[in-house]
Amino acid sequence: MDLTVKKCKQCEVVLHSSKNQCPKCLSDDLELTTIKGEGNIYSYTKIHTAPKQFADHVPYYVVLVQLDGLNLTGRFIGEAVQINDFVVLNDIKNECYYFKPVDN
């Protein structure tokens, strides 16, 4: 699943689509583009105790994924996760990114 993002026309930094100004050069000259929703996990945590609305989902993983020029936080759909696992964006629900593992 591809992801719509913004890219700074001045310095080419990739930004989350909700941003309106480049954090690197402070330009507001941004354009919409798409990147592949796939990358590697560079950090994660396993949630055992969650707020009431997510209590029936525990345990679950929150992952930090390095995409093509953009880092995102999301939920991992799977049983086990490791650093450098390759994942793809599976869904976006309520502004939450859901990643699933890719079998090699």
> What residue spans define the domains of the chain?
1-36, 37-103
CA dihedral (20, 3, 33, 10) positive or negative: positive
Query: 104 or 97: whose pLDDT is higher?
Result: 97
Q: What are the pLDDT digits (tens) for 38-92?
A: 999 999 999 999 888 888 889 999 999 999 889 999 999 998 999 999 999 999 9
pLDDT for position 95: 86
User: Distance (Å, rounded) from C-alpha 84 to C-alpha 47?
Assistant: 19
pLDDT for position 54: 83
pLDDT at 104 over 60: no
Task: Single out the residue of 63, 66, 64 nearest to residue 77, CA to CA.
Answer: 63
Question: Whole-model pTM?
Answer: 0.87
